[in-house]
Structure 1
Amino acid sequence: MPSSLPRRRALASLGALAAASALLPAGTARAATPLRIGYQKSSTLITVLKARGSLDAALAPLGVSLSWHEFASGLPLLEALNLGNVDFSADVADTVPVFAQAAGADLTFVARETASPSAQAILVKADSPLRTLGDLKGKRVGFAKAAGAHYLLLAALESAGLRFADITPAYLAPADGRAAFERGAIDAWVVWDPFLAAAQRQAGARVLADGKGLASYQRYYLAATPFAKAHPDVLAVLVDELRRAGQWVKQSPKDAAALLAPVWGLDADTVEAANARRSYDVQLVKAGSLDEQQRIADAFLGEKLLPKRVDAQAVALFVPPRG
């Protein structure tokens, strides 16, 4: 019949398209899964993964499309995570999730870097008359609000029999804190690596106290809970790559410093000094392992810095899918 020829041609075309589709690489036919990673300048392991391209390669078989979004500090980063503007947060100080919990953020704890207490410290100038933590009374102290430095300051003041009200706080991001410290606008500065190492090596800053015996300084990786539920396979690969990156930094300190130095705008020796104080030991967050998080939350509540009590254990924890 005359009408059968167009029909046969149409069927032949469909067959050819189907055959061609079968020859395409796996994942080509489906839409890519976007993964928007938020990080800070001091996010060492994410910076390593970004610079080396290793995470892109590891996630390629899952059809993941990566994008990177830099934030000045941890609190805006977790706000963006809660609002759905990013899917995964690079390491933030242990204090930051406490504020996010108090704000009702729907976040999942994915992994943590184990304790690095000497990687944050209270600094004074080399010729400062301040010699003990008790000398901070009545002084102007700079630090980033909600950062690990914030809790270190609270713990340090308590150990000296002081309260937060005994000092004048100056809430400053690291760059602003460094400038204020150098011009004498603040009497002491509480900060973390690599800013800590840079201030020691470049500005001759003296450590009044670090976190040993005061604050263990664990850093947490978090995900938006909807993303964690929808893409546990992606997060499992991400955790594995973070763990490998941490091992590489510790096993190859000079290579890691050479990679990070131009990204951070620091000399390699300063970067290596900073990295030596961080554990970079990436572990899953286990139930019952958040005792210090509770102490942090209670300390902030006691100083009326939180609007309500936070149950640090009442959080979603990432569990990798069984392969």
Structure 2
Amino acid sequence: MITRRQTLQLLAAGAAALALPTAGRAQDSATQFRIGWQKGGVFALAKNSGAIEKRLAPRGITVTWAEFTSGPPLLEALGANAIDFGSTGDVPPLFAQAAGGDLVYVAATPGSLDGSAILVKQASPIQSLADLKGKKVAFKRGSSSHNFIVKALRSVDLTLDDITPLDLGPPDAAPAFANNQIDAWVIWDPYYAIAAEDPDTRVLTTTEGVVDSYGFYQANGAYAAENPTIVAEVLDELRLVGEAAQTDLDATAEAISASNGVPVPITRITLGRKGANLGAIIPLDDDIVAYQQALADEFYNLKIIPRSLTIRDIVWSPPAL
């Protein structure tokens, strides 16, 4: 798992790579494929089976994997050329683009309807979203949970100014929630599914009916420009792995658990979320770009990101395989 210190080391390595002459950089990118991943999903299956390694083997490409606990540090590394490819929710790429990171959207996946939740303790006096006013609410700034809490509060005429927001990633938020140091936790799977198994935990609401979302696959911009066929082949391989996984979710849960250590029953819960589909990897059409643009405009208007963004500027055009 990548720590903050290791992320900075990766960024330093990426900066050094950016300083290389163009010819040397192209040669490096043609012989390696560096994946940033989070626990679970189709990446766990691909990593466990070696599917991407096998797909790229004829090209003589070495595949390496770096684990991250959330999307923001993953895209920080991606935008700085410390990794080449990864996947996050809808909000992290907005922060990465606003920060000037070199990244492009290469594919999308529809988010499950109920794969994130706002959690409170069973005995908490918080019974509705309106009760969050004045409370300590933890979420990872710049992650999909940031969008979720904004939309959830808006549904009851509240804003982030009405709560005490705490920027905590899962490794810090989980013990804070367990020890009653926060009043509510906005979190995604598999952390949501793990926490919800505790009888002392209550689900205040899920994303269903509050926010529709997409997940996105991203690549380093220079890497995708120099190696479009490699990126397209990896996306195709992930789609094939995901489609096969959907045919037997019980076996898939066991395979993902073997890769990331999340218990099989928990993994099976996440795979059964409404609308979840490991094989749903699709190009960014006009509707998806419009969705992401609306989110970017909203976050800019709320002064959450520092500048206006044009999403289409960093949408990649895949080659024909």
Query: Does residue 122 in structure 1 map to residue 118 in structure 2?
Result: yes
Partner of 2:293: 294
SS in 1 for 2:269: helix
Q: Is the 8 A contact 1:113 1:218 kept in 2?
A: yes
Cα-to-partner distance string for 1:273-322 (whole Å, 9 max, x where unaligned): 01112332111222442222123223322332111122233323231x23
**Displacement after TM superposition at 1:217 (Å):** 2.7
Partner of 2:52: 55
Partner of 1:132: 128
Moved more, 208-217 or 150-159: 208-217
Q: Of 72, 77, 82, which aligns to 2:79?
A: 82
Moved more, 155-164 or 241-250: 241-250
1:236-251 matches, cutoff 5 A: 236-251=232-247
Unaligned runs of 5+ in 2: 1-26
Cα-to-partner distance string for 1:196-227 (whole Å, 9 max, x where unaligned): 11111135422211112222231111111111
SS in 1 for 2:282: strand
CA distance in 2, matches of 1:298, 1:101: 13
Partner of 2:95: 99
Could you tell me which amino acid in structure 2 is paired with residue 299 of structure 1? Answer: E
CA distance in 2, matches of 1:153, 1:249: 31
CA distance in 2, matches of 1:244, 1:254: 18
Tell me how many residue pairs correspond in the alignment. 291
* Larger of the two Rg values belongs to structure: 1
Alignment RMSD (CA, Å)? 1.8
1:139-154 matches, cutoff 5 A: 139-154=135-150
CA distance in 1, matches of 2:105, 2:304: 22
Cα-to-partner distance string for 1:239-287 (whole Å, 9 max, x where unaligned): 1111122223322111111112243333211110011123321112224
SS in 1 for 2:294: helix
CA distance in 2, matches of 1:40, 1:137: 31
The structure-2 alpha-carbon separation of the partners of 1:292 and 1:213, relative to structure 1 and needing over 3 Å to count, comes to: farther
CA distance in 2, matches of 1:204, 1:284: 41
Could you tell me which amino acid in structure 2 is paired with residue 171 of structure 1? Answer: D
**Displacement after TM superposition at 1:73 (Å):** 1.8
Q: Is the 8 A contact 1:154 1:299 kept in 2?
A: no
SS in 1 for 2:118: strand
Q: Is the 8 A contact 2:106 2:284 kept in 1?
A: yes
SS in 1 for 2:165: strand
Partner of 1:26: none
Q: Is the 8 A contact 2:284 2:315 kept in 1?
A: no
Partner of 1:208: 204
Cα-to-partner distance string for 1:117-159 (whole Å, 9 max, x where unaligned): 2101111112222111101000000111111111000000001
1:200-279 matches, cutoff 5 A: 200-277=196-273, 278-279=276-277
CA distance in 2, matches of 1:65, 1:238: 13
Q: Scaled by the length of structure 2, what TM-score is found?
A: 0.86
CA distance in 2, matches of 1:111, 1:318: 10
Could you tell me which amino acid in structure 2 is paired with residue 173 of structure 1? Answer: G
CA distance in 1, matches of 2:104, 2:156: 35
Aligned residues: percent identity? 35
Cα-to-partner distance string for 1:183-206 (whole Å, 9 max, x where unaligned): 111111000011111111135422
Q: Is the 8 A contact 2:80 2:102 kept in 1?
A: no
Unaligned runs of 5+ in 1: 1-29
Q: Is the 8 A contact 1:164 1:303 kept in 2?
A: no
Q: Scaled by the length of structure 1, what TM-score is found?
A: 0.85
